[in-house]
Amino acid sequence: MNKLELLIAWRYLGAQRKSLFVSLIGIFSMLGVSIGVFALVVALAAVNGFEEEVTAQMIGKDAHFELMAYNSEPIASYDSLINEVRTRDPSVVAASPFIIYKVGISSKKVNDGIVIYGIDSKTASGVTDIHKYMKWGHYSVDSLEDMSGTLRPGILLGSGLANRLRVVVGDKLVLQTFQSPDEMVGSGGPKMMMCVVSGIFETGTYEYDGNLAYVGIPELQKLLSMGDAVSGIQFRIKDHWMAGEAADKVGEWLTYPYYVIDWKTKNITLLKWMNYEKFIVAAIICLIILVAAFNIISSLIMVVIDKTKEIGILRSMGLSKSGVMRVFMLMGSFIGVGGTIVGGTVGLLLCKLQEAYHFIKLPGDVYVIPYFPISVHLLDVVLIFVIGIALCVLSTLLPAWKASRLDPVGAIRHE
């Protein structure tokens, strides 16, 4: 490649009176590449943003992995299990026992069924982030005084559940166990416990806010007649992406009837869907760049037809076949590289502005966050630039090869 080839390629790209239409096609081809690259940068950044936000929501409201017993059997010796896991896996930074059960809940106006968690509020704040989502009241399951001055166990409710029950902080609720008809015979009916709403949290996820409540472990043990046992143990590690490996490591020495499950396994369907979504979005938007590449082929073929005589003159003056081929490959490369740089730069600029100022808003009552989440990954940007430029360069091969095969004598005679 020499300066002459670069000069000829650049000159052929310029708008000339006889080939204005051909030059316009080249400009539109560059715009097509720019739009495709811009859309791909923004779309993948948006998919990454939503994926990271959903992931943060999942690991914020759930532990990195849990240890439980088969058939929901209660675990009595949970302190020794916690110490054993901490000893064998130094990546564990926090652990907390919990109880999970389905109970009935009643306010003055509404009866409902919910999932109740029994937690130790001090250790639970180390494995989940529920305490960060408190909207009203306080993160506490300690006993509180009700309106009459009587001490009652505190209960934390999701905002959706509180709205459904029509209660606020300080109101009283009744928890009751569900029993089968056989269990109710001779048992005196379901057990009940009165609580006081100590706090209301709002995570932004309907499934959590509308169906979860938290009370203290001792109170729930008493209601369920569990003694000193719990349902399982929640763990948090240093890197949540390594939760699967940590769970497998614990599972290697853990014996029946215990098992472990990490947050990725619990949400495997959602995580797979997000990965498929990213691939599908990228594949569809790549079609825009592919269409632009076909436009480059069309514009270069028209240039070859328009410049046939000039090509013949260049060949007769000593320009080799490979030199002619490089001229037209350079033309297409100018279009592809220029369009990719312009589209990618504008896309990255828009993403950075959205990250900084959140000017694209979302309805807070529909989505988890009130603004459009954006997360730019360097690897994605590099792949987009490589794919965009590669498609455009590959699209030049056919027209360039066609130009290099022209017979000099026949080309000069071309009218």
**Cβ(387)–Cβ(339) below 8 Å:** no
Residues 76 and 65: their CA atoms lie apart, in Å, by 19
Residue entry with tokens 């009587």: 150
Q: Which range, 11-20, 215-224, 273-282, 373-382, has the best average confidence (pLDDT)?
A: 215-224
Per-residue model confidence (pLDDT) at position 287: 80
Residues 50 and 267: their CA atoms lie apart, in Å, by 15
At residue 59, does pLDDT exceed 80? no
Indicate yes or no: pTM above 0.95.
no
Encode burial over 334-347: b for 16+ CB neighbours within 10 A, e otherwise: bbbbebbbbbbebb
Length of the chain in terms of residues written: 415
Average pLDDT of span 53-70: 84
Please report which confidence band the pLDDT of residue 349 belongs to, taking 50, 70 and 90 as the band edges.
very high
Report strand pairing: 92-106 vs 172-177.
Answer: antiparallel
- Please tell me whether residue 134 adopts helix, strand or coil conformation: strand
Residues 221 and 72: their CA atoms lie apart, in Å, by 15
Residues 264 and 241: their CA atoms lie apart, in Å, by 8
Q: Given its phi and psi angles, is residue 176 left (phi above 0), alpha (psi -120 to 50 degrees) or beta?
A: beta
Q: Which range, 29-33, 152-156, 273-277, 311-315, has the best average confidence (pLDDT)?
A: 152-156
Per-residue model confidence (pLDDT) at position 17: 46
- The residues facing 158 across adjacent strands are 201
Per-residue model confidence (pLDDT) at position 188: 56
Report strand pairing: 111-119 vs 212-216.
Answer: parallel
Residues 226 and 217: their CA atoms lie apart, in Å, by 10
**Cβ(306)–Cβ(374) below 8 Å:** no
Residues 276 and 269: their CA atoms lie apart, in Å, by 11
Per-residue model confidence (pLDDT) at position 19: 56
Question: pLDDT tens digit string along 217-243?
Answer: 999 999 988 888 999 999 999 888 888
The full set of domain ranges for the chain reads: 3-58+270-413, 74-256
- Please tell me whether residue 23 adopts helix, strand or coil conformation: helix
Question: pLDDT tens digit string along 88-101?
Answer: 888 899 999 999 99
- Please tell me whether residue 259 adopts helix, strand or coil conformation: strand
Please report which confidence band the pLDDT of residue 286 belongs to, taking 50, 70 and 90 as the band edges.
confident
Question: pLDDT tens digit string along 195-214?
Answer: 999 999 988 777 788 889 99
Question: pLDDT tens digit string along 324-346?
Answer: 777 778 877 888 888 888 998 99
Average pLDDT of span 6-15: 67
Q: Answer positive or negative: Cα dihedral of 276, 279, 283, 286.
A: positive
Per-residue model confidence (pLDDT) at position 312: 73
Residue entry with tokens 């071309």: 414
Q: Tell me the residue type at 111.
A: N
Helices assigned H by DSSP within 358-396: 378-394
At residue 154, does pLDDT exceed 60? yes
Residues 44 and 278: their CA atoms lie apart, in Å, by 7
Mean pLDDT of the chain: 82
Residues 225 and 258: their CA atoms lie apart, in Å, by 21
The percentage of residues in the chain with a pLDDT greater than 70, rounded to a whole number, is 87
Average pLDDT of span 115-123: 91
